[in-house]
Amino acid sequence: MAVKKRINFNIDKLKQCYNQPEGFFDEISQYPTNKYLKYEHFTLHIIDDGRGENSDKQPIMVKANVILSDGTLLGNFVFHHSAEYDGRCFFTFANSALYETTNIVCGEKYNHQSELDFIASTLGLTINNFTTIELAADVNFNIIAKVMKLIKDFKNYDMIVNGRRITDENRHIDNYGEYYGRSRAKRDRYPTLYFSQAKSDGLELKIYDKTKEINEENPHKKYIEDWNEFGEQKIYRLELTIKNEQFKKWLEYVRENAPTSDHLLAEWGDFELAEGLLTLRAYKCPLWQFGADRLVYFRSKATNDVVSLLDIALGAAA
């Protein structure tokens, strides 16, 4: 019996940059490590006061965990008063907080992402940028094998990487790699596939067996399996890393194309709305496709039809 193909779009890492109000760092840096600062609905736990063993040292960085009223670790702030980041701070979500269900609306699950807005507002912080977004398309079938099949089928499909068609099937593919794990006795059957852009702030894509990684390296992340609800079926992940400059390009793309598009909404190009939009599947899917298509896609030589990674993930191709 054929497996019914399923796909979930999950944010696996989210790091956001905020502007600190004037005088904020001076206030937060007066507290020692292990101090708990209680606010309405959450607590800041200072885990590093930036002084080390020298209590008289003037800190340039303070780290604090954010703990919700029910005890959930939402993530951590790194507040700065350095030459590079003066006036800014960074918040990174705890991975588990991104896979804990807080609400279900019309069949769509929601996690703890939306709670950060209230916390930032309480502290007087304003959003500066989305420093890193790791957005995964999780599927319940071996997509690694299907992508590798298309890569090797140069007789029937063109392969376009970073906007350039691979014209010589015998030449090494730039910005693409396959990594095989192994024991001393044998090599893994399937590799992890890597696609990237040459620049340091470029897009990156990793395609791998997520269930295998959880079982072998991160058994404490079984909550990802519970969130996806694939049952006994394995999770294969297409994990796209989007940094600040690339996210800006997505917003520009939406603003330029939404007026003539039947699948892009104009509000998706509004930076001020992005924090809330990143909780929605309807937004995460086109954002993921935008990044993935810029890294790699295929085109049938017979029909000229494009075969995207999203097509493959949805079971509509290969």
243 phi, psi to nearest 5 deg? -100, 175
Give the mean model confidence (pLDDT) for residues 11-15.
98
Q: What secondary structure, in 3-state letters, does 214-236 show?
A: HHHCCHHHCHHHHHHCCCCCCCE
Beta strands in 81-141 (DSSP E): 88-93, 103-105, 108-110, 126-139
Tokens of 267: 């509000």
3 state SS of 152? helix
Amino acid at 182: R
What is the per-residue pLDDT across 68-92, written as a single tens digit (0 to 9) for each? 999 999 999 999 998 899 899 999 9
pLDDT for 318: 53
Contacts of residue 77, Cβ cutoff 8 Å, sequence gap at least 6: 44, 63, 64, 66, 89, 90, 91
User: What is the distance between the alpha carbons of residues 47 and 31, in angstroms, rounded to a whole number?
Assistant: 10
* Phi and psi angles of residue 99, each rounded to the nearest 5 degrees, phi first: -125, 20
> Backbone dihedral region of 107: left (phi > 0), alpha (psi from -120 to 50 degrees) or beta?
left
Amino acid, single-letter form, for residue 67? I
Angle 281-295/244-257 helices, nearest 10 degrees?
Answer: 110
- The 10s digit of each residue's pLDDT in 167-187 is 999 999 999 999 999 899 999
State both tokens at 9.
Answer: 């779009």
Confidence of residue 235 (pLDDT cuts 50, 70, 90): very high
Q: What's the pLDDT score for residue 269? A: 97
- 194: β partners: 177, 206
pLDDT band, residue 2 (cuts 50/70/90): low
**Residue 52: pLDDT above 90?**
no
Buried-state track 218-248, b at ≥16 Cβ within 10 A, e below 16:
eeebeebbebbebeebbbbbbbbbbbbebbe
270-292 mean pLDDT = 97
The DSSP bridge partners found for residue 116 are none
**Of 310, 299, 295, whose CA–CA distance to 193 is shortest?**
295
Other beta carbons within 10 Å of 195: 23
